[in-house]
Amino acid sequence: MEKKFKSGFIALIGRPNVGKSTLMNALVGQKVAIMSPKPQTTRNRIQSILTTEDKQVIFVDTPGIHKPKSKLGEYMNAAALFTFKEVDLIFWLIEPNDTIGAGDQFIIEKLKEAGTPVILLINKIDTVEKPFLLKVIDAYKDSYPFLEILPISALKQENTDRIMEIIDQHLEEGPQFFPDDMITDQPERQILSELIREKILKLLQEEIPHGVAVTIDSMDETEDGSQIIIDATIVCEKKSHKPIILGKGGSMIKQIGILSRRDIEGFLGMHVRLNLWVKIKENWRDSEFLMKNYGYRKGE
């Protein structure tokens, strides 16, 4: 008897910096979302696609749910919460704490409103002693009717095989939504701009990264097809940020370019010449017009 094909959409939700992007990349087996130890790294809902012989799983990585301090923060929260009712299953990632904070209580209330089945994933278990996990489970087990509570380490890929078993159990019969070789629904330029932004998050100090956006201005392949020339602009919101991004004698922007080009070449599979520019757009995070220009649109 022929095995039935299954498909479905699964949201990865949680507070900032709980490891959603790390888990999604691990499950798909390829880097789709940028990762950083700084919170609020993911700004858009990112769909990555895992296709096998008998199923297609579309993972939706959402921005971390937090108390917003700008229109960009409000946008990020709306993008995450909008997802709750759109998917077939929710993976809620938390860190191993034995008390439920106000932020997680807010998420619980929103989950109750949505009514979508939820799996609670206690991430970063490699950072605590195993007996402590029992206290974490005890704190959360009665807060919501979870289908399952599973301790994992996305970074160490501990118990991630069990996640795939859970998906097989709860995924229903359905069509194949995307082609076999498609791993994300993100436009190519958006992926490249995010790869550059990841390097800024990695290299720059705390107060700058969240005031930065990256736009890909042009992508042109050379006539002989040997490389692609990419012009990109790093947008910052304060005049004082520009010299920090440039660095002494251009040292910082050079380092950002070197690290970005390495990842972009790996993604595109060809040689890249990357030209980076820095532009100041004061308070762009509070301008809906500029946010749309930089790729942040509600409901997308």
Q: Per-domain residue ranges for the chain?
A: 6-170, 188-293
Which CATH class for the 188-293 domain?
A: alpha beta
- Specify the DSSP element, H or E, that contains 259: helix 251-268
Domains 6-170 and 188-293 share a fold: no
Q: Among candidates 118, 126, 112, 107, which has minimal Cα distance to 166?
A: 118
Which CATH class for the 6-170 domain?
A: alpha beta
Q: Which tens digit of pLDDT belongs to each residue from 58-73? A: 888 776 564 555 555 5
At 246, is the pLDDT very low, low, confident or very high (cuts 50, 70, 90)? very high
The phi, psi pair for 62, rounded to 5°, reads -110, 155
User: Dihedral angle at the C-alpha atoms of 164, 168, 172, 177, nearest 10 degrees?
Assistant: 50
In sequence order, the 6+-apart residues with CB closer than 8 A to the CB of 171 are 6, 7, 8, 55, 57, 88, 89
- The region of weakest confidence among 33-37, 130-134, 202-206 is 33-37
Pair of tokens at residue 19: 């490891």
- Does residue 37 have a pLDDT over 50? no
Collapsing DSSP to helix, strand or coil, 285 comes out as: helix
- Does residue 216 have a pLDDT over 70? yes
User: What is the mean predicted confidence (pLDDT) over 289-297?
Assistant: 57
Contact 111, 144 (CB under 8 A): yes
- pTM higher than 0.75: no
Listed in sequence order, the DSSP H helices in 90-187 are 102-114, 132-140, 160-170
The chain-wide mean pLDDT, for the chain, equals 81
